[in-house]
Chains A and B, each alone.
Chain A
Amino acid sequence: MKNEMIKNKPMDRRGFLKTSALLGGSAACLGAVEKVNSKGFGREKINYPLNDAENVIYSVCLQCHTDCPIKVKIEDGVAVKIDGNPYSIQNLNSPIPTSTDIQIGAKIDAGICPKGQAGIQTMYDPYRVVKVLKRAGKRGENKWKVIPFDKAITEVVEGGKLFADVPGEENRVVEGMRQVRALSDAKVAKAMAGDAMNVGKGKMSLADFKAKHAAHLDLLINPDQPDLGPKNNQFLMLAGRMEHGRKEFAKRWMRGSYGGNNFMEHTTVCEQSHHIAYKQITSQYLGGGKWKPAAEHLKPDFRNCRFVFYFGTGFAEANFGPPIMASLATNAVTNEGCKIVVVDPRFSKSAAKAWKWVPVRPGGDAALIYGMIRWMFENDRIVKSFLVNANKAAAKKANEESWTSATHLVTFDKEGPGKKLRASDLGIGLSDEFVVTKNGKPVAVNTNDKLNPITGDLFFSGELNGIKVKSELMMVKEYAMSKSMDEWAKEAGIDKKEIIALVKEYTNFEKYGRKVGAEMYRGPVQHTNGYFNGMAVIYMNMLVGNIDYNGGLIAGGGHYHEDGSKGGPFNFKKDAFAGKTKAFGHKISREGSYYENSTYFQKNGYPAKRPWFPHTGNVYQEAIPSLDDAYPYSIKILMTIMGTPLLSNPAAQMSMQTILDLKKTPLYIASDVAVGETSMFSDYIFPDYAIWERWGTPHTTPAAVTKMSKMRQPTIEPLTETATIFGEKQHVGYESMLLAMAEKMGLPGYGDDGLGKGMPLKRIEDWYLKMASNLAAGDHKGDALPDADAKEIEIFKKARRHMTSATFDFDKWEKACVDANGKNWFKKTIYLLNRGVRGEDFINYVKNVENSDKILHKFGKLFNFYSEPVGTTRHSYTGKRFSGISKYSRAIDYAGKEVVGSSAYPLKSITYKPITGGQARTQAVDYWLQAVMPENTIDLNAQTALEMGFKDGDMAKIVSADNPDGSWDLGPAGKKYMIGKVRAIEGLRPGVLNTSWSFGHWAYCARDITVDGKLIKGEKARESGICSNAAQAVDSGLKNSCLEDLVGGSAVFYDSFVGLVKA
């Protein structure tokens, strides 16, 4: 039977009757026909309310940190469906113009990943904390009581015998936030700050300092070490990856109002070294020895790329992020003949689409790259015409946008390379000019010079005026040539022939032109040598001159400025409210501080007890171990929000005891949506708004080629309790908690004139709607969005009909949009909120790509092969200088000891993010995602499994030299063993053990919990799988924390050796 019979000639009624008649006039059958007719399928009005803008509120997902714009569809006040925002380039490859009618926008759904879809189940987690929980048993015992919000705020602010009802703590007096905020006088702070740091730098004597500030010495953590700052620094706020908008709010509160310096995000357990590699390579010279990073994240133009390397990442599972990258990559591969190479010990879903999968030895990326670079130098396959340009003018002349420091000279002293050569050193120019050689003759070069093009010799090594110098590219070349291809291949764990095949294709300029690129994310950088590996990946781009080309390395379209710094009506950068304090002192993690600029260095010299990180920030994994060591000082109050350091850090089990220790962590406050793995050990859990109930202005991934800003906003009435703060009834959440604390302590910058005369900061919208107004106003004159018309305003209101005035109060919202000049930005803001994003018209991109080989939004800046700031910084243990160029090294710890395996612990342990796993969180609560992946596994290469005596499906326990028991010791909560199912697969490098992230929970109500004396049953399924972080190596030099990258600050996830035992 052919199908077109059905398709084109559906059986007509006569035909049907004929066949029925065959049955011998079966009356029953005719009866059926009658009935069917009366059933009349398809006659009803097709009701589908989810396509009406009145039922849609746009927001931004955060199930992972890709922050995709979404539209949340609402019925009866319940969020029932989440889809991608069609106005957004992260969801639609050609976003619809921002000017598109919102009723049309409502009918166009765009892409998001499964986690984004499952957001509903995170929002409506039955175990979501909606009231303040206070510890009612020992820390970690998981016994709680519900207490009123106001009482909780009073307790944490005022301190006292807060846990008198807990056995053993009857007499423990807890210092409250008010007491810890010893330094509350902005003038005093301002006077002390500079002097204190100068004591550290040795520019001021301690005696002088003490004499000058005698009246206030008691406000300092340690009067003998004023560079540690005031006691206020003993309040530590660990903030996961807090997002823009919220981050500015929190930092303002912490630094400007509370006067503390310890606000920290999680980025070093994330991928910080990748950022730092980009930051150093894109640092622009400001003069006076100062450098300023211009970008922390660039990406290949996946749309137009014809050959892409993915180092330790992909486009299909994680990264930033699947919804925007996957379709661009799959389209390029299937329709445009793009070739991709995935360098990853694990066969990923991206590798499944690759021309080649390169199962590199974990940590071997730089070796692999140097093998390729060596071949490029040997075979002259670098783009010299790009590399010779020494300044902006030269780039311009050569029809390039960006340029590199390939030709710049670096000086060498007896310690090796140091500062870059300055023209003034040779007497041929200024001290802010670098030097290149032209046919061996030195020429001064101002890299930012737009007028005088200067090109230089790529390879120069020699002495100039008695100073030993080398060109930066020479340094790279010499290093590449320092090992043979065979040696590089051996370190990379990849066949030499394969390496040559890869680089040959990559540098097939005749075929691919500049439409090639090398992408990376966590894989190469979360190593002890991560920063240098990251640089090597960027070199791969620089050497082929692909920067700013369509199909090359791009910076992305960027975003509008919600901070008002580009001319918006509310300039938060210049938010100089009365009483604003200056926070000072080294941070607990010693990030942003040179060891040599500390009183510790003056006292102890090298080695420092713990590393100092002048070139990085957010060194998350250092926070708790540092307070454990009370180095550089102890902490009185810990606050965590949106992060779970006791689970997500490698070797996190070492921190468990620190948190359980009431002396080391006297007060621990958490802001959370659940009783999380870390917040379970806290004293108070303040409920937070879920992602879809809160505000934010996250930024856009560089994978987006056009400019876009997005606005997270409440889509439903928050499910948390309400409280009255500054006289305003509002839901309890992170920001309102900070507002309440501010009110209680009388912190400056809040209340009626909090944001300036007549501009209150009493409700969270007072803050966020101003940011929204800035976005709506745009970055320059004429950039403002149109006003929402009456129809749109009506829809705006209707879409929020399910909200009470605690969340949505039209008049108050409007008031929040009135600037200091009385100008009302509300209508423009509504226009923005009605779309969730504002984006540049995509036609700009289309036109550009038709007419130019360069990308629409150009970076157009200097790229450094050699980082002068890093090259002149010393390792705080050895006191030796770091390398300024990328170098390969095997994993070593703080004390310089190589990380090696043994017969009991032979397997290199790695980890990855499945597409359904969003951070630590989604797999515990999202039932749909559990259906896709109910547990994770211990993956081994089938051959390795065989050799070790494991079969697919065997239960096994991960153990390590530092954790031979294979457990998380949770104190009163018992132990959680790293026991899971072995999966013997082909898609993994032999000798490697791989586990995914997002599983292995012990909290999130996976287990039973007691509240108000009642036992509440948990959900067993939430506990499934394992998290292997407790098996990661403990640094032998630090003893209580994981291995670290000392430049980039990253925590190390892929250098540890583990063993596997039957369980």
Chain B
Amino acid sequence: MSKEELSRVDENLTLETDESRRDFLDKFSKGIFGGLIAGGIVNALAPVQARADMDGSNLNFAEPFKPFDLPPAIPGEDVILRMMRDLQRALKKPIEQRHWNMVIDLRKCVGCDACSVSCAAENKLPPGVIYRPVIQQEIGSYPNVGHVTLPRPCMQCDEPPCVPVCPAQATWKRPDGIVIVDYDQCIGCRYCLNACPYDARTFDFGMEYIDGAADAPKVFLGKEKAGKYETEASYEYEKEWKREDDKSPIGNARKCHFCIPRIEKGMLPECVVTCIGRATYFGDGSDPDSLVAELIASPNAFRLKEEVGTHPSVYYIK
């Protein structure tokens, strides 16, 4: 899909008037006092937190992506394989030329929560931290009933309200569209949690699932041995994180990061691969040949809460 088409989709779906009104209110209230207006201007000019390294020129990965051979394509192959091919193509481009998009086809989502659990397991999320809950609701009345499900990863907004609010410059948008949290910078003020219109950020309170269990290693497996999987490294952003003491990511804001360590190895995000409804798609939206670009162009594609002007990278299909 071309850029023009992309913006057409935007326009169709955006309630411009409302957004600009809110924009105005937003800027106005920000700018109302003294020197703060300057901050407001920064925001007005650079709606996305701009960082010097955002142009990607200095994102020189020590290990460039090594493509691997996928089995030859066959008719009717699983979309997972198709998307892995798309992914490899995208990774051959410079980072600033790709834009990661996720598409969730709600007609195919069966509300199984495999994505939530898989993500929690992959990222070693402690209790209370969740990147992709699946919201479920019954609608209608007997016998005309419906059940709607809504998996909610981070929208990786192109205009992410969570970014400018961060006092610590701990969160920003990468050139490929992913909004990241730098755990080492984050002070844990939770401002971004409040700022996100999707409740997509949660705070790591340092808990463990095993906390409530008794430790009786002479009899049962015991808490200590049982809890090991929780403290093994999690791979987020470009690092590994071990949950120990009060070290990050404990005390940090956390959110879905589109499984950066996986995608940069040519693997699809966890929630995509495990999705039993094959309702979740991932790829480079700026590649017109990719499956996600195809899907974003569907007439029934939409984005959540367009009216807040966040321009999510996550599309839904209804």
Tell me, yes or no, whether A and B come into direct contact in the complex with CB atoms closer than 8 A: yes
**Interface 9-mer from A110-118, A214-222, A429-437, A742-750:** A110-118
Cα of A807 to Cα of B276 in the assembled complex, Å: 33
Contact B74 A846 (CB under 8 A): yes
**Interface 9-mer from B60-68, B186-194, B197-205, B244-252:** B60-68
CB distance from B243 to the nearest CB of A (A): 13
Which residues from B are CB-within-8-Å of A78? 228-229, 232
Which residues 51-79 of B have a CB within 8 angstroms of A?
51-56, 58-63, 68-71, 74-78
Which residues 312-363 of A have a CB within 8 angstroms of B?
315-317, 322-323, 326-327, 330-331, 333-334, 347, 349-353, 357, 359
Which residues from B are CB-within-8-Å of A915? 110-114
Cα of A235 to Cα of B175 in the assembled complex, Å: 69
When the two chains form the complex, which single residue of B124, B169, B267 contacts A107, counting CB atoms closer than 8 Å? B267
Closest residue of chain B to A86 (Cβ to Cβ) is B80
Cα of A326 to Cα of B96 in the assembled complex, Å: 36
Q: Is A286 an interface residue (CB 8 A)?
A: no
Which residues from B are CB-within-8-Å of A128? 220-221, 226
Contact B173 A6 (CB under 8 A): yes
Q: Is A75 an interface residue (CB 8 A)?
A: yes
Closest residue of chain B to A18 (Cβ to Cβ) is B45
When the two chains form the complex, which single residue of A93, A112, A1011 contacts B216, counting CB atoms closer than 8 Å? A1011
Given known contacts A127-B221, A987-B142, is B42 in contact with A4 (CB within 8 Å)? no
Contact A126 B222 (CB under 8 A): yes
Cα of A846 to Cα of B73 in the assembled complex, Å: 12
Closest residue of chain A to B111 (Cβ to Cβ) is A349
Which residues 980-1000 of A have a CB within 8 angstroms of B?
985-988, 990
When the two chains form the complex, which single residue of B54, B229, B235, B274 contacts A10, counting CB atoms closer than 8 Å? B54
Contact B61 A84 (CB under 8 A): no
When the two chains form the complex, which single residue of A22, A124, A916 contacts B226, counting CB atoms closer than 8 Å? A124
Chain A positions 142 through 153: 1 when the CB is less than 8 Å from some CB of chain B, otherwise 0: 001010000000
When the two chains form the complex, which single residue of A3, A24, A37, A1017 contacts B214, counting CB atoms closer than 8 Å? A1017
Cα of A502 to Cα of B48 in the assembled complex, Å: 54
Q: Is A94 an interface residue (CB 8 A)?
A: yes
Which residues 161-218 of B have a CB within 8 angstroms of A?
169, 173-175, 177, 180, 182, 185, 209-210, 212-216, 218
Closest residue of chain B to A68 (Cβ to Cβ) is B276
Q: Is B308 an interface residue (CB 8 A)?
A: no
Cα of A351 to Cα of B111 in the assembled complex, Å: 12
Cα of A334 to Cα of B278 in the assembled complex, Å: 11
Which residues from A are CB-within-8-Å of B7? 2-4
Given known contacts A41-B182, A45-B62, is B235 in contact with A932 (CB within 8 Å)? no
CB distance from A408 to the nearest CB of B (A): 39
Q: Is B102 an interface residue (CB 8 A)?
A: no
When the two chains form the complex, which single residue of B113, B214, B270 contacts A1016, counting CB atoms closer than 8 Å? B214
CB distance from A585 to the nearest CB of B (A): 40
Cα of A1018 to Cα of B214 in the assembled complex, Å: 7
CB distance from B226 to the nearest CB of A (A): 4
Q: Is A44 an interface residue (CB 8 A)?
A: yes
Cα of A42 to Cα of B3 in the assembled complex, Å: 27
Given known contacts A120-B121, A327-B278, A927-B209, is B222 in contact with A46 (CB within 8 Å)? no
Cα of A1018 to Cα of B122 in the assembled complex, Å: 28
Q: Is A109 an interface residue (CB 8 A)?
A: yes
Contact B226 A126 (CB under 8 A): yes
Cα of A1021 to Cα of B127 in the assembled complex, Å: 14
Chain B positions 116 through 138: 1 when the CB is less than 8 Å from some CB of chain A, otherwise 0: 11101110100100100010001
Which residues from B are CB-within-8-Å of A92? 78, 80-81
Contact B262 A125 (CB under 8 A): no
Chain B positions 26 through 58: 1 when the CB is less than 8 Å from some CB of chain A, otherwise 0: 000000000000100110011110111111101
Closest residue of chain B to A22 (Cβ to Cβ) is B41
Contact A43 B74 (CB under 8 A): no
Contact B53 A41 (CB under 8 A): yes
Contact B277 A16 (CB under 8 A): no
Contact A932 B116 (CB under 8 A): yes
Interface of A (DSSP majority class):
mixed
Chain A positions 213 through 257: 1 when the CB is less than 8 Å from some CB of chain B, otherwise 0: 000000000000000000000000000000000000000000000
Which residues from B are CB-within-8-Å of A20? 42
Q: Is A377 an interface residue (CB 8 A)?
A: no
Q: Is A100 an interface residue (CB 8 A)?
A: yes
Interface of B (DSSP majority class):
loop
Contact B110 A322 (CB under 8 A): yes
Q: Is A868 an interface residue (CB 8 A)?
A: no
Contact B117 A932 (CB under 8 A): yes
Contact B273 A110 (CB under 8 A): yes
Which residues 465-485 of A have a CB within 8 angstroms of B?
none
Contact B145 A846 (CB under 8 A): no
Given known contacts A46-B261, A130-B220, is B110 in contact with A80 (CB within 8 Å)? no
Q: Is B292 an interface residue (CB 8 A)?
A: no
Chain A positions 9 through 43: 1 when the CB is less than 8 Å from some CB of chain B, otherwise 0: 01111011001101110000000110011011111
Given known contacts A915-B112, A942-B142, A1011-B219, is B58 in contact with A22 (CB within 8 Å)? no
Q: Is A381 an interface residue (CB 8 A)?
A: no
Which residues from B are CB-within-8-Å of A48? 235, 261-262, 264-265
When the two chains form the complex, which single residue of A100, A104, A334, A988 contacts B105, counting CB atoms closer than 8 Å? A334
Q: Is B15 an interface residue (CB 8 A)?
A: no
Given known contacts A6-B173, A32-B169, A81-B122, is B60 in contact with A43 (CB within 8 Å)? yes
Which residues from B are CB-within-8-Å of A94? 74, 76-78, 81
Q: Is B92 an interface residue (CB 8 A)?
A: no
Q: Is A96 an interface residue (CB 8 A)?
A: yes
When the two chains form the complex, which single residue of B220, B261, B278, B311 contacts A126, counting CB atoms closer than 8 Å? B220
CB distance from A110 to the nearest CB of B (A): 6
Q: Is B99 an interface residue (CB 8 A)?
A: yes
Q: Is B240 an interface residue (CB 8 A)?
A: yes
Q: Is A380 an interface residue (CB 8 A)?
A: no
Closest residue of chain B to A8 (Cβ to Cβ) is B3
Contact A12 B55 (CB under 8 A): yes
Cα of A48 to Cα of B238 in the assembled complex, Å: 9
Contact B278 A330 (CB under 8 A): yes
Contact B214 A7 (CB under 8 A): no
Cα of A357 to Cα of B180 in the assembled complex, Å: 43
Cα of A100 to Cα of B68 in the assembled complex, Å: 12
Given known contacts A23-B42, A927-B127, A987-B145, is B276 in contact with A323 (CB within 8 Å)? yes
Contact B120 A928 (CB under 8 A): yes
Contact A130 B221 (CB under 8 A): yes
Contact A81 B221 (CB under 8 A): no
Cα of A23 to Cα of B43 in the assembled complex, Å: 12
Contact B173 A75 (CB under 8 A): no
Which residues 670-727 of A have a CB within 8 angstroms of B?
719
Interfacial residues, chain B to chain A (CB-CB below 8 A):
3, 6-7, 10, 38, 41-42, 45-48, 50-56, 58-63, 68-71, 74-78, 80-81, 84, 96, 99, 105, 107-114, 116-118, 120-122, 124, 127, 130, 134, 138, 140-143, 145-149, 158-159, 169, 173-175, 177, 180, 182, 185, 209-210, 212-216, 218-223, 225-229, 232-233, 235, 237-240, 260-262, 264-268, 270, 273-279, 285-286, 309, 311
Chosen A-B contacts, 11 in total, with CB atoms closer than 8 Å, are: A2-B10, A7-B6, A10-B55, A12-B55, A33-B52, A37-B58, A40-B53, A42-B61, A110-B274, A330-B110, A986-B145
Interfacial residues, chain A to chain B (CB-CB below 8 A):
1-4, 6-8, 10-13, 15-16, 19-20, 22-24, 32-33, 36-37, 39-48, 50-51, 75-76, 78-84, 92-94, 96-97, 100-101, 103-104, 107-114, 116-118, 120-121, 124-131, 133, 144, 146, 315-317, 322-323, 326-327, 330-331, 333-334, 347, 349-353, 357, 359, 719, 842-843, 846, 849-850, 915-916, 927-929, 931-932, 941-943, 985-988, 990, 1005, 1011-1012, 1014, 1016-1019, 1021
Q: Besides the contacts A6-B177, A124-B228, A986-B140, what 13 more A-B pairs have beta carbons closer than 8 Å?
A: A6-B48, A8-B286, A19-B42, A19-B45, A22-B45, A45-B238, A109-B274, A126-B222, A333-B107, A931-B127, A942-B142, A986-B141, A1018-B214
In the complex, the 8 A-B pairs of residues with the closest C-beta atoms, listed nearest first: A3-B158, A352-B147, A316-B110, A126-B226, A330-B108, A126-B213, A327-B278, A3-B311
